[in-house]
């Protein structure tokens, strides 16, 4: 990494007003409004055939999301055209501060855990993959995650807990990700999940071989340099170039962006002129995910379908579209 010392001073100076000492007026929960078809190693023709538009990898879905039955999840993924889907499990049940007294059990979305995701994937090997997860400050958290990495989990995710992003517990997880060469996907939500967004550059520098995926409200709100009130989780209107998220993606080769959920859709659609340039500049760093609890995939209210449509409409060319919907995930997860 070039000029790390300069970048560190730049981060600390330019981020202070926006990201330090801001009082909260209430934190929203995770938004829920928040094949072998083309590649021999991916997808399942009988499940979701790749159309002329090409295969799609969905890097962010949950089993049992808001109580959604498995057959409905299968139909949903088929409807949005996902030929490969990565299921992100919850950690173990816990009632401490990091789960906000149990509120974040099931990732605040009724998501099922490691074993359920592993078993589901064993029954749908050609169309689904899974991640490994646990509450980072629970005794034996890294052992729990490692057990499922050994079973074939392709990511540590979704880390969505009330902990400091640079805590000793989180650094153990980053070290585990480095040892197994898997990405870590983090849900950034101000004063709720993963504290210290303005300090995360230190972790990117300390763990340069670990690939990190940024996701959720605080991650996407900070594409805008003028985003100073961090309690606003879904900002609207024009985006000014140079936000902290934009800089993380530009300055660090190990930082990637997960376009899923209401926060991702909001970021794509709030300033479409900015988005076209943003998608072009970061065409190798952005990945499609749905994170959608919708039961009618492809319908007008389906987040996954809306995000896919926005990518196709705003991508400058077909090559960029395919990178965001398929190729970047294929490369990052070594599929």
Topology at the third CATH level for domain 4-20+29-332:
TIM Barrel (3.20.20)
- Given the structure tokens 């072009």, which residue do they identify? 280
Question: How far apart, in whole angstroms, are the C-alpha atoms of residue 297 and residue 80?
Answer: 6
pLDDT for the residue 24: 25
Contacts of 139 by beta carbon, 8 Å cutoff, 6+ apart: none
- In the chain, the percentage of residues whose pLDDT exceeds 90 is 82
pLDDT for the residue 297: 85
Spatial strand order of the sheet with 184-187 comes to 156-159, 184-187, 212-215, 255-258, 286-287
Residue 44 has pLDDT above 50, yes or no: no
Query: Which DSSP symbol is given to 299?
Result: S
Q: What confidence tier does 139 reach under pLDDT thresholds 50, 70, 90?
A: very high
Structure tokens at 145: 């995650």
* Length, in residues, of the chain: 335
Question: How far apart, in whole angstroms, are the C-alpha atoms of residue 239 and residue 233?
Answer: 14
Tell me the backbone φ, ψ of residue 17, rounded to 5 degrees.
-65, -40
Q: Tens of pLDDT along 178-226?
A: 999 999 999 999 999 999 999 999 999 999 999 999 999 999 999 999 9
Residue 146 has pLDDT above 90, yes or no: yes
Q: Mean pLDDT of all residues in the chain? A: 88
Q: Which of residues 55 and 23 earns the better pLDDT score?
A: 55
145-158 mean pLDDT: 98
Q: What confidence tier does 50 reach under pLDDT thresholds 50, 70, 90?
A: low
Residue 29 has pLDDT above 60, yes or no: no
67-76 mean pLDDT: 97
pLDDT for the residue 36: 26
- Model confidence, pTM: 0.86
Question: How far apart, in whole angstroms, are the C-alpha atoms of residue 311 and residue 268?
Answer: 8
Q: Which of residues 172 and 19 earns the better pLDDT score?
A: 172
Average the pLDDT over each of 20-29, 101-110, 201-210 and give the range with the smallest value.
20-29
Listed by start position, the domains of the chain span 4-20+29-332
pLDDT for the residue 148: 98
Structure tokens at 84: 């490969």
pLDDT for the residue 300: 86
Q: Tens of pLDDT along 278-333?
A: 999 999 999 999 999 999 888 888 999 999 999 999 999 999 999 999 999 999 99
Work out the number of other CB atoms within 10 angstroms of the CB of residue 224: 24
DSSP string, 150-162: TTT---EEEE-SS
Q: Do 263 and 241 touch, CB atoms closer than 8 A? A: no
Question: How far apart, in whole angstroms, are the C-alpha atoms of residue 300 and residue 319?
Answer: 26
Structure tokens at 249: 């993606």
């Amino acid at each position: 990494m070039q000029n790390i010392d300069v970048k560190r001073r730049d981060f600390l100076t330019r981020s202070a007003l926006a990201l330090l000492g801001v009082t909260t007026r209430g934190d929203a929960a995770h938004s829920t409004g928040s094949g072998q078809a083309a590649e021999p190693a991916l997808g399942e023709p009988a499940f979701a055939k790749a159309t002329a538009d090409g295969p799609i990898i969905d890097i962010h879905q949950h089993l049992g999301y808001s109580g959604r039955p498995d057959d409905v999840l299968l139909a949903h993924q088929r409807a949005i055209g996902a030929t490969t889907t990565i299921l992100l499990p919850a950690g173990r049940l816990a009632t401490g501060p990091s789960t906000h007294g149990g509120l974040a059990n099931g990732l605040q979305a009724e998501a099922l855990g490691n074993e359920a995701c592993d078993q589901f994937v064993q029954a749908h090997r050609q169309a689904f993959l899974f991640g490994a997860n646990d509450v980072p400050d629970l005794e034996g958290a890294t052992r729990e995650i490692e057990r499922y990495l050994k079973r074939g989990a392709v990511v540590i995710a979704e880390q969505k807990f009330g902990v400091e992003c640079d805590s000793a517990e989180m650094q153990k997880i980053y070290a585990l990700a480095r040892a197994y060469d898997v990405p870590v996907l983090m849900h950034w939500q101000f004063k709720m999940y993963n504290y210290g967004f303005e300090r995360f550059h230190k972790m990117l520098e300390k763990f340069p071989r670990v690939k990190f995926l940024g996701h959720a409200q605080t991650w996407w709100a900070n594409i805008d340099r003028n985003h100073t009130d961090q309690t606003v989780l879904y900002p609207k209107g024009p985006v000014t170039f140079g936000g902290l998220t934009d800089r993380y993606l530009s300055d660090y080769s190990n930082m990637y962006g997960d376009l899923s959920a209401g926060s991702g859709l909001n970021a794509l659609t709030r300033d479409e002129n900015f988005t076209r340039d943003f998608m072009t500049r970061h065409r190798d760093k952005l990945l499609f995910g749905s994170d959608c609890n919708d039961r009618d995939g492809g319908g007008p209210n389906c987040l996954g379908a809306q995000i896919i449509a926005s990518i196709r409409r705003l991508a400058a060319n077909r090559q960029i579209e395919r990178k965001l919907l398929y190729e970047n995930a294929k490369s990052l997860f070594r599929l």
